Amino acid sequence: MGLFSRDIGSLDDLFVHTLRDIHYAERRILTALPDMIGKTTDPELQIALRTLFAETEGHVRRIEDVFVLHGAALKTVKCHAIEGIMAEAEVVVGEVAEPEVMDATLAACTQAMAHYKMSRYGTLVAWARRIGRADCAALLQRNLDEEKAADRALTGIAETKLNVRAAE
Ligand code: FE
């Protein structure tokens, strides 16, 4: 599926394309998280990011189950959005001098990734239902629910602790 060819002719095609995109994004996040965990100094944030890593592995497996259910080939589509979010995170992380500020930065960067994924999963669930794939929608909804819960957890840690310490 090239950028300038017109291979997306139906909602079904769009669904599969976006599934490939989020599969790329989830795996890209798995390559970045260990380094991010290594940069945290707050034990609670470290646990949250480790939990997120395990959940992300589960998301990849569920997406792959959706490919099988839908009978679609698991091809790679580069997610330019997650590459952009990652590139920006690397720039900011590289500029941060204080450990307390780093923890607030890492939480914010992780939430930016989660928000991208939430938007994609919300769309994928709606499209799966529309094309008659309630089975796929149910799996994708579980990923969406986990993203939302992780996002809420990070907001909790940031607002009660990380941002407070970063501001001191
Ligand atoms: Fe994308």
Model confidence over 9-34: pLDDT tens digits? 999 999 999 999 999 999 999 999 99
CA of 108 to the centre of ligand 1 (A): 19
Residue 12: phi and psi, rounded to 5, are -60, -45
State the residue for tokens 């259910």: 69
Q: Is the pLDDT of residue 1 over 50?
A: no
Tell me the pTM.
0.94
CA of 3 to the centre of ligand 1 (A): 13
Residue 5 pLDDT grade (very low, low, confident, very high; cuts 50, 70, 90) = confident
Q: What percent of the chain has pLDDT over 70?
A: 98
Which residues surround the ion ligand 1 when the cut-off is CB under 5 Å?
Answer: 21, 79, 81
CA of 164 to the centre of ligand 1 (A): 33
Residue 5 DSSP class: S
CA of 32 to the centre of ligand 1 (A): 16
Q: Is the pLDDT of residue 3 over 70?
A: no
CA of 81 to the centre of ligand 1 (A): 5
Write out the two tokens for 15. 């669904």
Q: Can you tell me the distance from the alpha carbon of 127 to that of 105, in angstroms, rounded to the nearest whole number?
A: 34
